[in-house]
Amino acid sequence: MTAAVIVAAGRGTRAGPGLPKQWRSLGGRALLAWPLDTFRAHPRIDRVVLVLHPDDMGVAAGYAAHPDVDVAEGGETRQASVRAGLEALDAGGADRVLIHDVARPLVDAALIDRVIDALDDAQGAAPALPVVDALWEGDGGKVGAIRDRTGLYRAQTPQGFHLGVILDAHRAHPGGASDDVAVAQSAGIGIEIVRGSETNFKITEPEDFARAEAILEHRMDIRTGTGFDVHAFGPGDFVTLCGIPIPHDRGLLGHSDADVALHALADAIYGALAEGDIGRHFPPSDPQWRGTASHVFLEHAAGLAAQEGLSISNVDLTLICEEPKITPHARDMIERVAHILDLSERRVSVKATTSEGLGFTGRREGIAAMASVTLVSR
């Protein structure tokens, strides 16, 4: 069972006068409602502990009135508030916990997935973004020493851990840690970095509200696309589907590696972007694409989506053929597509059907593939 602890007991002093930032309006409702809803709606989060300032218990009643939400009273520091949330979770049956700042209201489901996925192999995982700007030390308003930014990251939340391990680390820590990764590190826990998100920034200064409002205004950009492709059988002893070579008594004919599955997926993304199809970007008349491994097309399509500020929410692929049998290879295909698209495997569907012996697929003349994708603004 995976739980989330959302720490919301700070006073938001840097965000300017008025209510503490978690109670101020963002997109027409309290800021706190955004991350709370995102975690509650996430299919892999079973329970949420909301850590609140003692003065806010009354205000919070409406937000906490759900069977999957518990409330804990926060402490003087972020670290004390996290500890209170973890203690409230202990004995509740959770074995993994994601610790999140309420002050990062625009966290998204795909980022949460990346943290949870990384916990399969790591004791701790946290999102971060590489530092892309030059780093200077200030020296009385002038540029002082120039620091090397190589290998530096900007840390975000949610930071995810196995519950027993992080709770023990917090209990043993003297205090003063900047975040839970720092607490974990002091206990020798290894932390995997997963890709963060620019929209998952922390509301700290007054102007950060305007930035979050602007993102929310454009956030509802959701696009769907469909792709369809067919390749005929020809001589050979294997077919390549989703990048996986599958033994067969025939091969597939094509200009590239004839991976009909990845072609349908790439076309679905191009379709969602109104960017034509593979042929427009990689003309079959151009000899340089002969024999190309089709992940190149899919990566290109996904790259165009990223350039438009869109991320892939899910993909759904159906292969239509009598032979070869797809099901024994479906897991490998899902893994491969998830890897190419840097997507959780839970957001990739690969399935197959026969055409009941009818038509060209029924006559075993080739394989057809159809795909749909959903792109969402980041």
Ligand X SMILES: C[C@](O)(CO)[C@H](O)COP(=O)(O)O
Of the two residues 131 and 230, which places its CB atom closer to ligand X in the complex?
131
Burial group, residue 216, by CB count within 10 angstroms (0-12, 13-18, 19+): middle
CA nearest 274: which of 299, 303, 301?
Answer: 301
Contact 18, 114 (CB under 8 A): no
Backbone Cα Rg of the chain:
24
Of the two residues 181 and 266, which places its CB atom closer to ligand CTP in the complex?
181
- Of all helices (H) and strands (E), which one includes residue 162? strand 159-162
Three-state SS string over 270-338 comes to HHHCCCCCHHHHCCCCCHHHCCCCCHHHHHHHHHHHHHCCEEEEEEEEEEECCCCCCHHHHHHHHHHHH
Q: How far apart are CA 198 and CA 29, in angstroms?
A: 22
How many amino acids of this chain bind ligand X (CB under 6 A)?
8
355 assigned binding-site residue:
yes
What stretches of the chain show up as alpha helix (H) in DSSP? 33-41, 57-64, 78-89, 109-118, 163-172, 180-186, 208-219, 260-272, 278-281, 295-307, 327-341, 359-362
Of residues 202-231, those binding ligand X (CB under 6 A):
202
Among 38, 79, 157, 200, binds ligand X (CB under 6 A): 157
179 sits near ligand X (criterion: CB under 6 A) = yes
Min dist CB 78 to ligand X, Å, is 5
Min dist CB 281 to ligand X, Å, is 38
Residue 76 binds which one of ligand CTP, ligand X, none, with CB within 5 to 8 A depending on kind?
A: ligand CTP
Residue 9 binds which one of ligand X, ligand CTP, none, with CB within 5 to 8 A depending on kind?
A: ligand CTP
Of the two residues 51 and 343, which places its CB atom closer to ligand CTP in the complex?
51
Count of Cβ atoms closer than 10 Å to residue 253 Cβ: 13
25 assigned binding-site residue:
no
Contact 211, 228 (CB under 8 A): no
Residue 186 binds which one of ligand CTP, ligand X, none, with CB within 5 to 8 A depending on kind?
A: none
Count of Cβ atoms closer than 10 Å to residue 83 Cβ: 25
Among 101, 108, 113, 267, binds ligand X (CB under 6 A): 101
- The two three-digit tokens of residue 29, written as one number: 């409702």
Q: How far apart are CA 335 and CA 346, in angstroms?
A: 10
Cis peptide upstream of residue 328 (ω within 30 degrees of 0): no
From 34-42, 149-157, 330-338, 369-377, span contacting ligand X (CB under 6 A):
149-157
Min dist CB 100 to ligand CTP, Å, is 8
| Structure letter (DSSP) for residue 148 | P
79 sits near ligand X (criterion: CB under 6 A) = no
Of the two residues 133 and 356, which places its CB atom closer to ligand X in the complex?
133
Q: What residues make contact with ligand CTP under the rule CB under 6 A?
A: 7-15, 51, 74-78, 81, 101-103, 202, 204
Among 21, 47, 53, 78, binds ligand X (CB under 6 A): 78
354 assigned binding-site residue:
yes
Residue 178 binds which one of ligand X, ligand CTP, none, with CB within 5 to 8 A depending on kind?
A: ligand X
Min dist CB 61 to ligand CTP, Å, is 18
255 assigned binding-site residue:
yes
Kindly list the residues in this chain that would bind ligand X in the complex (CB under 6 A). 78, 101, 155-157, 178-179, 202
Tell me the binding residues.
229-231, 255-256, 263, 277-279, 353-356, 360, 363
